[in-house]
Structure 1
Amino acid sequence: MARYVMHLAFDDDPRRLAARPAHRDHLRRLKEDGRLVTAGPWADDSGALHVYEVADEAELRAILRDDPYTAVDGYEIVLLKEWTPIL
């Protein structure tokens, strides 16, 4: 398994805000499945940080395709990088 850190940027598009409940349900399912370590928005809601534990980047890209935010173009990926935590 590999850990990936993803930094997202948001704008105030009302389509993203409408998709937020479904997006958060999606994240909850990923957390329950053990594929999402943690996720949350920046305090100013300008974006979010997600940490995933998946087999590879292809699995993460598949997760993103299923995210309700993707369907409404609700984010921009600022950073997507494999991460090796030491603590």
Structure 2
Amino acid sequence: MHTGNLAELKQYDKIKKQSLYKSEPFEVILLTIAKDEVLKPHTSKTDAFIMIIEGDIIFTHEGIDFNLHKDDLFQFKANQLHAVKALTDTALLLIK
């Protein structure tokens, strides 16, 4: 079943979060972050997986910075401190 188009959903105005799919075991979220915006340090109640679909970020995980770019993948466990700084307009899929 066709449910949408990512290009049409991307909006680079600060930080936008859109749920694309949600079921009992997991949720898929499109997160768009405008250049220079920061998602402050926080934790997640579940394990998570991100896939960068556009842009460049600094992903800080447990105090270590990772430069992530289009097509990069990153996974982390629940309750681990992480943050994001967008170096360019960025879109990523968050699966948790």
Which TM class, normalised by the smaller chain length? 0.3 to 0.5
Which structure would you say has the larger RCO, counting Cα contacts within 8 Å and 6 or more residues apart? 1
More strand as a share of residues: 2
TM-score (norm 2): 0.34
TM-score (norm 1): 0.37
More helix as a share of residues: 1
